[in-house]
Amino acid sequence: MTRADRDAAFSEFVAARRTHLRRIAYAVCGDWDRAEDLVQTALVKLYVAWPRVRRDGAEEAYARTIIVRAGIDESRRPWRRERPGLEGTAEQESREPLPVEERSALFEALQALPPMQRRVVVLRHWLGLSVAETAHELRIGEGTVKSHSSRGLARLQELLAPTG
């Protein structure tokens, strides 16, 4: 494969999957600017590993893993995070299957979960990964995934239950 072919294949993947990866990153971190940073980090690392990852057919899984792990790294190193200068200027996605009110309520409820429960819920129930895949991506035990998933879903039900 020539470098031009490699670049073309990578560009095609980015064009097709960038919005989806950005939504995953937002669900993991809860901030559109940080989500964009996580996607950029993932795409840089993906480009470096592109020949191997492409050969294995695991492009999206690799990018998703980087997004989740980079999000974890950033949450563990708060002194490395930059503070945005403009609050409330995050770009909103234009096409979503849920009405705005429901989407906002869901993301607000997700952000109310502890970070690990949020990651597990996003990977298991939004992306549809298995317990084993989620455990592998987060580097935790399968029992821990099940526990976080159960608690996270129960908390989301409390937060999203109609009042009155």
**Each residue's pLDDT tens digit, 63-122:** 999 999 988 887 776 555 455 554 544 444 444 466 777 778 888 889 999 999 999 999
Q: What is the mean pLDDT of the chain?
A: 84
Overall average pLDDT of the 2-15 stretch: 92
Helices 59-76 and 3-29, packing angle to 10 deg:
50
CATH class of the domain defined by 97-164: mainly alpha
Q: What is the pTM of this model?
A: 0.57
Q: What pLDDT sits at residue 106? A: 84
Q: What local confidence, expressed as pLDDT, does residue 30 receive?
A: 85
Tell me the CA distances in angstroms from 112 to 58, 80, 107, 139, one per residue in order: 31, 23, 9, 23
* Percent of the chain topping pLDDT 70: 85
**CA 124 – CA 135 distance, rounded (Å):** 10
Provide mean pLDDT across the span 128-134: 91
The pLDDT of residue 65: 92
